[in-house]
């Protein structure tokens, strides 16, 4: 009975956490050489959009009246998920996100500095609860400021390449999808025009709203993003270290880049190529990353879970996006993960091919067919979600 409860609750948890998507479009920043704070309340991107982000995201397909203010923002997302063997895992339709956000100014100055309170709550039945909730101080202009943003509260970790896809293996490996939150404070700045940094001191590794009960005392996350004028995109590096008293202390390094094909080909080809490599230690441990095992390790395979719990791991992510028009985009996505980098034959790979269609300025349809490849044949046919071929369709509405 305990095993059945564990399997059911684990599958429910991974389904609710991993299918939701959030707005973080690094390819927009690469194409237009913009900072993430140009479009988002957060200085490192993701989460609620500001006024400019709303207008930019509409892609000249209309001007909704909701785009006139950045005090409020909201996301609605639903999914149709159909795996090849639905008897082994969840399938069907679900509402994953119905999340209004507030970005309330407390005070503002003419030079752009000021203080805002940012808060989001998700009312969707599968993953209800508070999301980002923080106080944000902006100190003058973004450029040439050693410290231009200070955030205190609950926020997404500024680790690695934030994407709008939660089934990215590099994000799952380090428990750093846009549905994972830490509590602490962060400082961001651009000491020179082409260089952006984020430094966060956090606790509450698992993203719950209660006190941490797994003896994590503190964590440190550092992110550096370089946007040189001669390069058609940006290059970044991140480091994540979580200090613990009586269990392995996870650490991870990320190298990532996004290249704008528009800039690379002088507008002859429209699209982007994104990539990330993540190397980590002790992130497969079930205490450090409880949802990872449900996705990659069958619930009955306790020996494999124990064998990889203290391993060095390696993850890859590549995404190619080709814009056919202002409404249509073709997308290819590749994920690869080695839970133990010493055993290359045990890798997990996933190929995804699909499209994105803007129905209008605020409604988007995504569809993708995914092919899963696993190195361990005994995983095929189990409840490990990473071994499933599947079809995913997502409808997204934002205001």
Please determine, for residue 217, whether its predicted confidence score (pLDDT) is greater than 50: yes
- Whole-structure pTM value: 0.88
Q: Which pLDDT score is estimated for 205?
A: 55
Report the pLDDT averaged over residues 3-21. 37
Q: How confident is the model at residue 18 (pLDDT cuts 50, 70, 90)?
A: very low
Of the candidates 214, 156, 162, the residue with the CA atom closest to the CA atom of residue 24? 162
Beta bridge pairs of residue 392: 81, 368
Q: Under CATH, domain 2-398 is a member of which superfamily?
A: Porin (2.40.160.10)
Q: How confident is the model at residue 240 (pLDDT cuts 50, 70, 90)?
A: very high
Beta bridge pairs of residue 334: 318, 351
Beta bridge pairs of residue 278: 254, 315
Which of the residue ranges 137-141, 150-154, 360-364 would you say has the lowest mean pLDDT?
A: 137-141
Report the pLDDT averaged over residues 143-154. 87
Q: Which pLDDT score is estimated for 246?
A: 72
Please determine, for residue 366, whether its predicted confidence score (pLDDT) is greater than 80: yes
Render pLDDT for 345-354 as a digit per residue (tens, 0 to 9).
Answer: 889 999 999 9
Q: How confident is the model at residue 178 (pLDDT cuts 50, 70, 90)?
A: confident
Which of the residue ranges 93-102, 134-143, 198-207, 275-284 would you say has the lowest mean pLDDT?
A: 198-207
Tell the residue number behind the tokens 């092919």, with chain if given.
371
Cα–Cα distance for residue pair 144/200, rounded to 1 Å = 20
Cα–Cα distance for residue pair 45/35, rounded to 1 Å = 8
Rounded to 10 degrees, the C-alpha dihedral 354/359/364/366 comes to: -20
Report the pLDDT averaged over residues 173-194. 90
Please determine, for residue 277, whether its predicted confidence score (pLDDT) is greater than 90: yes
Q: How confident is the model at residue 14 (pLDDT cuts 50, 70, 90)?
A: very low
Report the pLDDT averaged over residues 38-63. 86
Q: Which pLDDT score is estimated for 10?
A: 40
Name the average pLDDT for the chain. Answer: 84
Q: Which pLDDT score is estimated for 20?
A: 37
Report the pLDDT averaged over residues 161-167. 78
Please determine, for residue 13, whether its predicted confidence score (pLDDT) is greater than 50: no
Please determine, for residue 373, whether its predicted confidence score (pLDDT) is greater than 90: yes
Please determine, for residue 21, whether its predicted confidence score (pLDDT) is greater than 60: no
Of the candidates 382, 323, 388, the residue with the CA atom closest to the CA atom of residue 357? 323
Please determine, for residue 339, whether its predicted confidence score (pLDDT) is greater than 80: yes
Of the candidates 313, 355, 308, the residue with the CA atom closest to the CA atom of residue 333? 355
Q: Are strands 216-226 and 348-360 parallel, antiparallel or unpaired?
A: unpaired
Cα–Cα distance for residue pair 269/272, rounded to 1 Å = 9
Which of the residue ranges 123-132, 287-296, 323-332 would you say has the lowest mean pLDDT?
A: 287-296
Whether the CB-CB separation of 355 and 331 falls below 8 Å is answered with: yes
Render pLDDT for 63-121 as a digit per residue (tens, 0 to 9).
Answer: 888 888 889 999 999 989 888 876 566 788 989 899 999 999 999 887 778 999 999 99
Type and span of the H or E element at 149: strand 145-155
């Amino acid at each position: 009975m305990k095993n059945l409860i564990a399997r059911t609750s684990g599958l429910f948890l991974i389904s609710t956490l991993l299918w939701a998507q959030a707005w973080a479009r690094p390819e927009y920043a690469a194409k237009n050489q913009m900072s993430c704070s140009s479009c988002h309340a957060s200085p490192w991107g993701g989460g609620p959009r500001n006024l400019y982000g709303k207008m930019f995201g509409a892609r000249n397909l209309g001007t909704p009246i909701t785009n006139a203010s950045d005090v409020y923002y909201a996301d609605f997302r639903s999914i149709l998920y159909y795996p090849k063997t639905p008897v082994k895992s969840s399938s069907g339709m679900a509402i994953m996100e119905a999340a209004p956000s507030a970005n309330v100014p407390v005070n503002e100055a003419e030079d752009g500095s000021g203080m805002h309170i940012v808060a989001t709550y998700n009312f969707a039945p599968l993953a209800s609860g508070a999301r980002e909730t923080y106080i944000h101080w902006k100190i003058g202009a973004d450029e040439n400021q050693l410290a231009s943003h200070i955030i205190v509260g609950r926020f997404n970790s500024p680790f690695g390449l934030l994407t709008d896809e939660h089934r990215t293996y590099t994000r799952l490996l380090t428990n750093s999808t846009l549905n994972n939150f830490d509590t602490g404070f962060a400082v961001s700045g651009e000491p020179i025009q082409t260089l952006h940094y984020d430094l966060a001191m956090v606790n509450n590794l698992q993203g719950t709203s209660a006190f941490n009960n797994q003896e994590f005392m503190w964590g440190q996350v550092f992110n550096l993003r370089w946007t040189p004028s001669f390069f058609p995109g940006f290059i970044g590096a991140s480091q994540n270290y979580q200090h613990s008293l009586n269990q392995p202390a996870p650490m991870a390094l990320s190298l990532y880049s996004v290249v704008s094909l528009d800039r690379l080909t002088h507008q002859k080809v429209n699209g982007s190529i994104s990539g990330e490599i993540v190397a980590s230690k002790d992130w497969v441990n079930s205490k450090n990353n409880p949802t990872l095992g449900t996705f990659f390790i069958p619930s009955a395979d306790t020996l494999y879970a124990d064998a990889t719990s203290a391993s060095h791991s390696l993850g890859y992510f590549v995404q190619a996006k080709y814009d056919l028009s202002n409404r249509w985009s073709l997308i290819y996505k590749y994920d690869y993960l080695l839970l133990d980098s010493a055993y290359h034959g045990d890798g997990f790979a996933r190929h995804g091919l699909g499209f994105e269609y803007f129905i209008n300025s605020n409604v988007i349809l995504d569809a993708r067919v995914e092919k899963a490849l696993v190195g361990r044949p005994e995983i095929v046919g189990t409840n490990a979600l990473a071994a499933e071929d599947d079809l995913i369709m997502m409808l997204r509405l934002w205001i």
